[in-house]
Amino acid sequence: MGMKKEKPVQYTVADRAAACLWGAAAGDAMGKASEGYSPARILEVYGKRLRGFVEPVQPLSQFAWKKGEITEDTRQTLAVAEAILEKGGVDQLAVSRRLLACDPKGVGTSSRLFHFILSGDIGHVAAKGSGNGAATRAAPVGLVDTTRELNKLVEDVVKTTTMTHGGKVGVAGACAVAAAVSAAVEGWPAGYVMLQALQAAKLAEGYGNPDNLVPVAAQIQTAIDLAAEFTGSELWERVDSEIGWGFSANQAVPAALTAACTLLNAKEAILLAVNRGGDADAVAGIAGAVAAAINPLSLPRKWIETVKTVNGLDMDSLARQLVELRPETRPSARLQSQKSGGTG
């Protein structure tokens, strides 16, 4: 008797959206342990490569962090999601109000969120800010907006960034993440996910103030070129030297998207980012969000249970509510429209 072939798993948009939010939380919580460290320092502190959740050793932090505890990155993601659900869409003042009410634990005095909270001004418009904060909270926009309307997606992301991140790189990084998430939950192949991120970053160049940094779109293109030429450890060494894993969105976002779209596995993408150090919680959170949306079963169930239990999260319900606001978009439907001469 021949072996019975297994049918490929068919995921709904809601399945992918839930996996995306869980992946973001897991990557964020795990990455806290190695934030600010080099790969060599990670080995010194923990005695080995990180392969799961550990209690973070962060002597420069004024706070104690539990094993599996999320940081302000995920709390900002939740704030944006809740603001969207409150208004039935992306509303700048609603996002500002939620961000002002965020638990400030872990928000450094040099962060743009800290300065926004300090201002207390719901209508504040940041003049600068090219870090990763806006990118780490962009996923909910990608869950409610489609790649069919990429201009709208970019406009909506800008509404969620303007209060903290006014630099071009900060804005474009957030737009790239939201577009990648949107394409991933629609079920598109990883190459298309990367191209949508690239296109959104290009569209976003019309927003924000000059910051004299290499544009996010240019860095994503570099990442695409590197992934086409190199594989395995050589690819990641090239990403180390030509892009980086640091605290600027023109490093963290392209690196995270490369991990997600090359490895196609949330567990592997998160562990890669965690053990690279730098802005590890941001990079691992973004990589986990996109990779899990592409391949939901690749995110370990025990990781989900850990962040769920430690933080009291319910990403499944949140994801279902968000995708109810999303116009239906399926790759098969769009391809059929193109074949029949439709413009979409």
> For the chain, what are the domain ranges?
13-47+56-324
Q: Answer yes or no: are the C-beta atoms of 133 and 95 closer than 8 Å.
A: no
Which range has the worst mean pLDDT, 118-122, 154-158, 246-250? 118-122
Residues 138-195 have pLDDT tens digits of 999 999 999 999 999 999 999 999 999 999 999 999 999 999 999 999 999 999 999 9
pLDDT at 8: 62
Q: Answer yes or no: are the C-beta atoms of 16 and 295 closer than 8 Å.
A: no
Rounded distance between C-alpha atoms, residue 314 and residue 69, angstroms: 14
How does residue 104 score in pLDDT terms, banded at 50, 70 and 90? confident
How does residue 7 score in pLDDT terms, banded at 50, 70 and 90? low
Percent of the chain with pLDDT over 70: 93
pLDDT at 9: 72
Under CATH, domain 13-47+56-324 is a member of which superfamily?
ADP-ribosylation/Crystallin J1 (1.10.4080.10)
Rounded distance between C-alpha atoms, residue 162 and residue 166, angstroms: 6
What letter does residue 167 receive in the DSSP assignment?
Answer: B
Residue 5 token pair:
């072939």
Go through the chain and tell me how many residues it has.
Answer: 344
